[in-house]
Structure 1
Amino acid sequence: MKAVRFNRFGGPEVLEIVDLPDPHPGPGEVRIAVRAAGINASDWKKRQGLMDQELPQTLGHEASGIVDEIGAGVVDVAVGDRVFGASGESASQAELAVLSFYAPIPPSLDFVGAAGLPAALETATRALDQLGVVGGSAVLVSGASGSVGSAAVQLAVARGARVIGTAGRSNQDYLRSLGAEPIEYGDGLVDRVHALAPDGVDSALDVAGSGVLPELIALAGGTEHVVTIADFAGAQEHGVRFSRGDDGRAVHALREIGAMIESGQFSLPVAQTVSLGDVAEAHRVGEAGRVHGKLVLVIDSGH
């Protein structure tokens, strides 16, 4: 099968499309003929050598496609089913991928729309679970207009929470359409939040990693009410929880989101699609921050 891989760290030019052995699912896993695969910021961080140090590396955490092989014990899907999910091997940007966590694609979504869901959906749900966001509470989402941020806003609103979200001026109306109360980020954040919520908020989620943890701690009333998914150094410095998948993944989100999508309560826009052979260009576009929404690879599988 063809797959995205790199043998050295560097810019987008180090990415290659190579032939690799076909993978096979283990117990509880399924293999799909990939139709689309999500691209995330972690992809270019890995390519730059900022995350994992082993070489070579394949890429891709999330994908959608058609089940073509099932592992031992799998009884909830069959060969030929449309599913989306997450790869435990970080190898979903390929013609074939093994999914460790998966769910049926909601009827109203195509493969491209489904492929961009798992990473943002799981990350946002995990953070909200860790913060204990429930109906009647108030949560501040710092960096609310990106994929994870907008997912967190919609999920928190669906739980019945009041959501205040930070974003640039051009994204204020978008946040409002999701049910959040938008404010601008930057200097004066604490005052702007207090203007909306004089007593502060019950919890705060840092998606942007822009150095605002001290302000979030003050607004949420302590480090135990703040979670960051983007500022590892700041989390260590300020005693805030840094949420990552190895402390338990919120895989229940994949199976629960279908009803919200079908009822119009949740959507995650895809900004741009690219072919497998153009993955380097997708990295250039993503790194430059020129897109608002998900980048998705579309794969014409020969399998």
Structure 2
Amino acid sequence: MKALTFQRYGKSPGLGMTERPRPVPKPDELLVEVHAAGLNPIDNMLMTGAFKPVVKLGLPATVGSDVAGVVVEVGSRVTRFKPGDAVFASVFDLDRGTLADYVAVPEAVAAPKPANLDFVQAASVPMVGLTAWQALKERIGLRAGQKVFIPAGSGGIGTFAIQLAKVLGASVATTTSTRNVDFVRGLGADEVVDYKQQQFQDVLRDYDAVLGTVKGEVIEQSVGILKPGGRIASLVGPLDAAFARTRGLNVLLRIVFGLMSRKILRLAGKRGVAYSFLFVHPDGGQLAEIGALLESGRLRPVIDKVFPFEQATDALAYLAQGRARGKVVVRLR
């Protein structure tokens, strides 16, 4: 089967189309014929080696984490799916990729494809949907009536997280460029800061939570807009010692991550707020709940651009520019 793989970590990862054996599903896995694969910034970051100590991949590795497709074979212990079923899933951190003709998907991380979405739309959802769900519902515990700041509202995670926060009954603030102000308002954002005109820390006050989606000073500046007792769940770092412990990483990495997060933890402590780094994990049950919200129309996928499989490397390059409004998806069938 054809697959988009990279051979090594670094600036020249040897990215390209290769022939790989068709996967053989284990007893608890589905073999899925891939119809579409959604792209995420982590797909490019993994090739650089930035997450090499954390995410273990066998090289050469197939690129991609999000998939929507049709089950063609099931393992002997699979009970919830059968050949012919349309499914979607994230296989992030499971040492396999979705930019391929077929992918083996553990039954526990798969969910039925929402009936009202096509395969491209469904493939755009898993990682951003699960990330928003795990950050807002689980880590932050966002409740109706609270205020949450979600920077970069027009990006892949921002477009979904804004919608989910509104479903949870929260008030949402975001940042975006001038051209996207009306776009993010249409997603449900209550307060929109045009970062070309204003600094969010000069405008926003007394927020309950921040979803960290932008690297650098934004995370530190976000501390100042929170109430005492507020929470920051960061998707972009800095990594912290608590994350290292949950991953079972060695003592050296725990120390390194502790040093990396020392400044933000000090700032948060002075303000009386909590900081944590969040690493998304695949979860078919959560994805099924997200799918129900998609079917009801309370959530909707936002897609910027669709590329054919033959142009998958162009799709990754386009995503790396950081200008996509919503998700970038590769169509295989």
Give the ranges of 4+ consecutive aligned residues of structure 1 lying more than 6 Å apart after TM superposition. Answer: none
Deviations 1:261-285 (A, max 9, x none): 2332211222222222212111221
Judge which range, 257-266 or 89-98, deviates more.
257-266
CA distance in 1, matches of 2:21, 2:282: 28
Please state how far the C-alpha of 1:33 moved relative to its aligned partner: 0.6
The one of 63, 66, 69 equivalent to 1:62 is 66
CA distance in 2, matches of 1:125, 1:78: 27
CA distance in 1, matches of 2:328, 2:217: 26
8 Å CA contact 2:233–2:277 kept in 1: the answer is yes
Unaligned runs of 5+ in 2: 240-259, 266-274
Corresponding letter in the other structure for 1:144 = G
- Secondary structure of 1:221's aligned partner: strand
1:211-222 matches, within 5 Å, as 211-221=217-227
8 Å CA contact 2:44–2:320 kept in 1: the answer is yes
Residue 95 (structure 2) pairs with residue 89 (structure 1) = yes
**Equivalent in the alignment of 1:15:** 15
**Equivalent in the alignment of 1:197:** none
Corresponding letter in the other structure for 1:71 = G
Corresponding letter in the other structure for 2:157 = V
1:226-245 matches, within 5 Å, as 226-232=232-238, 235-239=261-265, 240-245=275-280
8 Å CA contact 1:147–1:268 kept in 2: the answer is no
Please state how far the C-alpha of 1:14 moved relative to its aligned partner: 2.6
**Equivalent in the alignment of 1:123:** 131
8 Å CA contact 1:81–1:104 kept in 2: the answer is yes
The one of 286, 304, 314 equivalent to 1:271 is 304
8 Å CA contact 2:208–2:230 kept in 1: the answer is no
1:248-287 matches, within 5 Å, as 249=282, 251-287=284-320
Structure 1's 120 and 12: CA in aligned 2 closer, same or farther, altered over 3 A?
A: farther
Q: Output the TM-score relative to the length of structure 2.
A: 0.81
**Equivalent in the alignment of 1:34:** 34
Residue 176 (structure 2) pairs with residue 183 (structure 1) = no
Unaligned runs of 5+ in 1: 195-199
Please state how far the C-alpha of 1:27 moved relative to its aligned partner: 4.1
Aligned identity (percent) is 30
Corresponding letter in the other structure for 1:215 = Q
Deviations 1:226-246 (A, max 9, x none): 11101326745312211003x
- Secondary structure of 1:253's aligned partner: helix
CA distance in 1, matches of 2:26, 2:80: 15
8 Å CA contact 1:33–1:95 kept in 2: the answer is yes
1:188-199 matches, within 5 Å, as 188-194=199-205
**Equivalent in the alignment of 1:138:** 147
Please state how far the C-alpha of 1:250 moved relative to its aligned partner: 5.3
CA distance in 1, matches of 2:71, 2:227: 47
Corresponding letter in the other structure for 2:264 = H
Judge which range, 70-79 or 178-187, deviates more.
178-187
Please state how far the C-alpha of 1:51 moved relative to its aligned partner: 2.4
- Secondary structure of 2:207's aligned partner: coil
Judge which range, 168-177 or 284-293, deviates more.
284-293
8 Å CA contact 1:64–1:115 kept in 2: the answer is yes
Deviations 1:79-125 (A, max 9, x none): 10011101223311100011231111111111111111101101111
Please state how far the C-alpha of 1:192 moved relative to its aligned partner: 0.7
Corresponding letter in the other structure for 2:67 = A
**Equivalent in the alignment of 2:252:** none
8 Å CA contact 1:139–1:163 kept in 2: the answer is yes
Judge which range, 55-64 or 156-165, deviates more.
55-64
Corresponding letter in the other structure for 1:123 = T
CA distance in 2, matches of 1:11, 1:296: 23
Corresponding letter in the other structure for 2:29 = E
Judge which range, 118-127 or 68-77, deviates more.
68-77
Please state how far the C-alpha of 1:25 moved relative to its aligned partner: 2.5
**Equivalent in the alignment of 1:160:** 169
